[in-house]
Amino acid sequence: MKKQKLRDFNDLVTEELRDPKFAAAYLNEHLAYEGPKARQLLLQALQNIAKAQGLSALSKQSGISRRTLYYAFSKAGNPTLDTFFALLKSIGVGIQFNSLGRPKVA
């Protein structure tokens, strides 16, 4: 009897992150976090997607140098909006704003 090789969970997630619909849902889940680590979690999610897509391929597709990508995802990194939007476009994900109603004035 032939043993079936089990796939690693991380391999499955990496494969799914190549799909723009899954990537969008993944980013939306991370965007829902609030608090001091919310920005860090969103950037980590974007980094996971970028790695799944392949940083070299993403660099060519987005026109962003690999060095800039690595720096953007480093602990000291702070990607510009241009970098952020170029990455989103390259992975096939868009961004949309919705009204939350009138803000409360303090």
How far apart are alpha carbons 31 and 38 in whole angstroms?
7
Tell me if the pTM is above 0.85.
no
Classify the phi-psi angles of 97: left when phi > 0, otherwise alpha if psi is within -120 to 50, otherwise beta: beta
Q: How far is CA 57 from the centre of its chain?
A: 15
Distance of CA 25 to CAs 4, 5, 31, 43, Å? Answer: 30, 28, 10, 15
The predicted-structure confidence for 46-101, as pLDDT tens digits, reads as follows 999 999 999 999 999 999 999 999 999 888 888 899 999 999 999 999 998 888 88
Confidence band of 16 (pLDDT split at 50, 70, 90): very high
Distance of CA 21 to CAs 7, 17, 49, 52, 77, Å? Answer: 22, 9, 12, 14, 26
| Both structure tokens of 105 | 């004035």
| Helices marked H in 1-106 | 9-16, 20-31, 38-53, 55-62, 66-72, 81-90
- Contact by Cβ (8 Å): 59, 71: no
